[in-house]
Amino acid sequence: MMDKRLLALVPNAMRHVLMTVMWQFVGLVANVCFVWAASSVLASLVEGTDVQTMTCGVLIALGLAGRTVSARMAQRVSFEASADVKRITRRRIYEKLLRLGPHYADDIATAEVVQLSVEGCDQLETYFGQYLPQLFYSVLAPLALFAVVAPICPPAAVVLLVCVPLIPVVIVIIQKIAKRILAKYWDQYAALGDNFLENLQGLSTLKIYGADAARHEQMNREAEHFREVTMAVLSMQLNSIIVMDIVALGGAAAGISVAIFAVARGSVDLFGAILIALLSADFFIPMRQLGSYFHVAMNGMAAADKIFRLLELPDPAERTETPASGAHFSMRDASFSYDGEREVLHHVSIDVPAVGLTAVVGESGSGKSTIATLLTGGEDGYTGSVCLGDAQVRDIARTSLARYATTVETASFLFQGTVRDNLALANPEATDEQMWKALGVAALADYLRTQEGLDTRLEAQAANLSGGQRQRLALARALLAQSSVYIFDEATSNIDVESEEHIMEAVQALARYKAVLVISHRLANVVGAQRIYVLDHGSVVGEGTHGELLESCPRYRELWDAQRSLEQYGEVRHEEN
Ligand SMILES: Nc1ncnc2c1ncn2[C@@H]1O[C@H](COP(=O)(O)OP(=O)(O)OP(=O)(O)O)[C@@H](O)[C@H]1O
Ligand SMILES: [Mg+2]
């Protein structure tokens, strides 16, 4: 019922918990004063004896004031504990994700991370803010009341005290059932969230293929499963509340019966009997309250299990190296497999000199993008060496690697906001003039001038731009980044031939003072490269300039001829039309 890992996660929380318990205890003492005074007033009214009005009045007033103040204070401290817990847990999750880097998604779905950070943490709040203090208080309160009642009527005090632990027994039995149902609840919840997110993101594709109705059905089925498990959780909670109420009320009734019996026998006076009757429920209320927090706390603990699963994932080895200025990328005898079974690169050796245009060509699936992924530290599990200067890429800190090398892919991410916002990501200090220059190089300036210039608004993922315009903007952004190395992976695949040629001229110009690696299926783009590597099924089958490769590499010649004939066919068709 107390999770040590959770306590260790939020070290300060224990202090808050004890403070809450202290204020609850002050409330209990105030309540006993109040009940004591009220009982003696009632007893003397019934028996017609004198009552010490002054003392009783003061005790009642103090009792009421004490109860109000302590309730407020307990609430306040418990709120502080909750706020602390949420803040700390969310920070831990965030820091963990940063340490895991882009690979976090291998181990946990994004939707689950979102759910854990939001709702999971909210449920932990109840665990620390209410459940834990109540756990201590529900043990302390019956013992304190026992000390009050025992001198008046020992048998009643014993009966009341003995009945209290029946509630935790019920709780433990429920816990056994609850744990299973709650684990299922969280699994279903995460799965539903995951599919919902995916379906939402892929909605246009689903519409295009008319597959939205089937997905709709599938989500309905999943939602129905989730409803069922939610109802199971709720009914378990309601049933357990009924059982706990029966135990609590039954226990109080037993205590009161013993007290009445003692009055009849004359061993307890009327004051004592009223006092026991009024306090008997207080024996059970804290434990009963614990029972109702228990369900939310159980939810929190189920969430905590998942949070710890994330927090306890092994951290990737720390990367501390920084690239020396002028360092160049090289791969030596590098082999790599994504899944540990099928090797997609075999003993690849390439060099990307610090200045100049290098190219990798090859048919689709030959491993070109995988080379870019390895060079930029996207995957670590290679054999052989992938170096930037003297350091292995896998040892270089991600931030310095990202600053050193910029990749432009077919689908680079663009954010909602203005064109300026997106460009400023690469270089917050860039002036308007520099931005326009980069846009000019990427052949997007003319279009933007017809819009609102740098203040042109972009919808989410730049949905209001064409595919080609998106690529141009991503290209302009990369140019502003002022990295030492640029990797263009099919960066112009959506762009018409004329603009592509214009952009490739800019890339060539860039290569006069930077390292540029162009990955392209279109060989015409790379004829000017200082060195071209030809990739075939994951192996380098040729390297050299365009002229050298035409002579020496049959695979390159094949690719070149195939593309030439395609393009000539295109030109002939164009002329015919
Ligand atoms: N994330 C991944 N997980 C598992 N396998 C992958 C992953 N990415 C690529 N692959 C596999 O690795 C091989 C090489 O893929 P890669 O993306 O490097 O090819 P490519 O030459 O860039 O192709 P294209 O010209 O189509 O972009 C392919 O067989 C592909 O199935
Ligand atoms: Mg690729």
Å from CA of 520 to ligand 2 middle: 8
Residue 577 has pLDDT above 60, yes or no: no
Most informative mutation of 338, 360, 535 for ligand 1 (most atoms within 8 A of CB): 338
pLDDT of residue 168: 84
- 185-207 pLDDT, tens digit per residue, is 888 888 898 889 889 988 988 98
Q: pLDDT, tens digit, for every residue of 521-530?
A: 888 889 999 9
| Cβ 367 under 6 angstroms from ligand 1 | yes
- Mean pLDDT within 248-274: 91
Mean pLDDT of 270-279: 91
Looking at the predicted structure, is the pLDDT value of residue 570 above 60?
no
Is the CB–ligand 1 distance for residue 365 below 6 Å?
yes
Q: Which atom of ligand 1 is the closest one to the Cα of 370? A: 18
- Considering only CA atoms, which of 321, 292, 273, 18 is closest in space to residue 156? 273
Q: What is the pLDDT of residue 573?
A: 57
Where do the domains of the chain lie?
Answer: 4-311, 329-576
Residue nearest to ligand 1 atom 9, measured at CA = 370
Please tell me the predicted confidence (pLDDT) of residue 571.
Answer: 59
Is the shortest distance between the CB of 344 and ligand 1 below 6 Å?
Answer: yes
Identity of the amino acid at 430: A
What's the CATH code, domain 4-311? 1.20.1560.10
pLDDT value at residue 439:
94
pLDDT of residue 572: 59
Number of Cβ within 10 Å of residue 293's Cβ equals: 20
Across 432-448, average pLDDT: 93
- The distance in angstroms from the start CA to the end CA of the chain is 79
363, 368, 409, 488, best to mutate for ligand 1 pocket (most atoms within 8 Å of CB): 368
DSSP 10: S
Which residue has its alpha carbon closest to ligand 1 atom 2? 338
Residue-wise pLDDT for 73-129, tens only, equals 988 988 888 888 888 899 999 999 888 887 788 788 888 888 888 888 888 888 888
CB 369 near ligand 1, within 6 Å: yes
Q: Mean per-residue pLDDT for 27-38?
A: 93
DSSP string for residues in 313-382:
SPPPPP--B-PPTT--EEEEEEEEESSSSSEEEEEEEEEE-SSEEEEEEESTTSSHHHHHHHHTTS----
**What is the position in ligand 1's atom list of the atom closest to the CA of 410?**
27
408 phi and psi angles, rounded to 5 deg:
-115, 120
Predicted confidence (pLDDT) at residue 565 exceeds the cutoff of 60: yes
Give the per-residue pLDDT at 84.
84
> Are the CB atoms for 525 and 358 separated by under 8 Å?
no
Report the chain's mean pLDDT, rounded to a whole number. 88
- Does the domain at residues 329-576 carry the CATH identifier 3.60.20.10? no
Q: What is the pLDDT of residues 314-367, one digit of tens each?
A: 888 788 888 888 889 999 999 999 998 999 999 999 999 999 999 999 999 999
Identify the nearest ligand to the CA of 342 by its number.
1
Pocket test for ligand 1, best of 344, 376, 536 (most atoms within 8 A of CB): 344
Give the whole-angstrom CA distance, residue 110 versus residue 220: 21
User: Does the structure show a pLDDT above 80 at 568?
Assistant: no
Report whether residue 368 contacts ligand 1, using a CB cutoff of 6 Å.
yes
Output phi, psi for 456, to 5 deg.
-55, 130
For residues 445 and 301, the model is more confident at 445
- Angle of CA points 31, 37, 38, to nearest 5°: 85
To test ligand 1's pocket by mutation, which of 341, 366, 537 has the most ligand atoms within 8 angstroms of CB? 366
Listed in sequence order, the residues at least 6 apart from 456 whose beta carbon sits closer than 8 Å to its beta carbon are 418, 419, 448
Q: What is the pLDDT of residues 367-396, one digit of tens each?
A: 999 999 999 988 888 999 999 999 999 999
pLDDT at 575: 58
Atom index in ligand 1 nearest the CA of residue 373 equals 18
In angstroms, rounded to a whole number, what is the distance separating the alpha carbons of residues 361 and 366?
9
pLDDT value of residue 355: 94
Distance 441 CA to ligand 2 centre (A): 24
pLDDT score recorded for residue 132: 87
Burial 234-244 (b: 16+ CB within 10 A, else e): eebbeebeebb
Q: Please indicate whether residue 500 or residue 19 has the higher confidence score (pLDDT).
A: 19
Residue located nearest, by CA, to atom 12 of ligand 1? 344
Please determine, for residue 447, whether its predicted confidence score (pLDDT) is greater than 90. yes
Tokens of 457: 């608004």
Q: Look up residue 362 and give its amino acid.
A: G
- At 50-86, the pLDDT tens digits run 777 788 888 889 999 999 999 999 889 888 888 888 8
Stated pTM of the model: 0.69
389: left (phi over 0), alpha (psi -120 to 50) or beta: left
pLDDT of the residue at 127: 83
